[in-house]
Amino acid sequence: MPKSISQFLLVLFSLGSVLCWQPAQAAEAKSAKELAESFPGISEDNIQESPVSGLYELTLGPQVAYVSEDGRYLIKGEVIDLQDNVNLTEARRVDSRRDILSGLDSQNMIVFSPADPAKKRFTVTIFTDIDCGYCRSFHRKIKQVTDLGIEVRYMMYPRSGPGSVAWQKAADVWCAEDRGAALTMAKNETAFPVRKCDASQVTEQYELGQMLGLRGTPAVISERGDYLGGYLTPEVLLRQLELVEASKPGTH
């Protein structure tokens, strides 16, 4: 399965090329297996019936598209159930994000938790860039966030990519003996002891962020898989999480 948004787009462009080359002919419905055999980089597991008659749903991680049953038309967009007022495409993304994030080991994150574990109400995963101004503003209020019962699981996403200054800062934080303290110091532009280690987790987290289609930082995702947006004050974050808890995926 492609791991990055660029790979996903490449597959979609490939699909578009295949579709354009097909001669006009009577439409014949194909099975998911037959469609998968026609499309490069796609397996049968990535294709299933969609909620809309006549369309298959194609998923790669949280990326969703739709293909006509005859394999001729590719649709990139949102499918809305007007009767129930639910964004079915976003609901699928939510499920995918939840499945991906729930399978991650918290030992490979930098976690800030409420002082009293019994008071934890919510968990969010935040992709962060040490040089991101809004990321720094959010982290300055991290105690307020945890005091509200919200656990924050940070993952590295240096937006400028491998080889950049931000990437090296992320690696230095990851290699620190106390990653939480080092992250706070790095965001405050305070020096901390630097040592060498295997910082491949930075690469893995960055690639995961790309697969999730992140466009900026901070990127806040609920435990259920809802994308909550970028910078949020502690109070707004809590309200967002309460709304998510009370809603169905694709409705908030």
CATH number of the domain that 166 lies in? Answer: 3.40.30.10
The answer to whether residues 169 and 191 touch, using CB atoms and an 8 Å cutoff, is no
Within a domain: 143:
yes
For position 219, what pLDDT does the model report?
A: 96
Same structural domain, 167 and 241: yes
The answer to whether residues 238 and 140 touch, using CB atoms and an 8 Å cutoff, is no
For position 205, what pLDDT does the model report?
A: 96
For position 7, what pLDDT does the model report?
A: 52
| Separation of alpha carbons 58 and 224, rounded Å | 21
Task: Among 25, 51, 83, give the residue marking a domain's end.
Answer: 83
Q: What is the pTM of this model?
A: 0.79
Same structural domain, 117 and 179: yes
For position 12, what pLDDT does the model report?
A: 52
Within a domain: 89:
no
Within a domain: 94:
no
| Separation of alpha carbons 150 and 142, rounded Å | 9
Between strands 110-112 and 55-60, the pairing is unpaired
Within a domain: 98:
no
Backbone dihedral region for residue 188 (phi beyond 0: left; psi -120 to 50: alpha; all else: beta)? alpha
| Separation of alpha carbons 6 and 225, rounded Å | 21
**Residue 190, exposed/middle/buried by CB under 10 A (0-12, 13-18, 19+)?**
exposed
Same structural domain, 119 and 198: yes
Total of domains in the chain = 2
Same structural domain, 132 and 193: yes
Q: Domain of 242?
A: 106-246
For position 17, what pLDDT does the model report?
A: 40
For position 11, what pLDDT does the model report?
A: 53
What are the distances in angstroms from CA 102 to CA 96, 99, 194, 223, 233? Answer: 10, 5, 31, 8, 25
Within a domain: 91:
no
pLDDT along the chain (252 residues), means of 10: 45 45 55 75 81 85 84 85 88 90 92 95 97 96 97 96 95 96 96 92 94 90 94 96 87 70
| CA end-to-end distance (rounded Å), the chain | 29
- For residue 89, which phi and psi values (nearest 5 degrees)? -65, -45
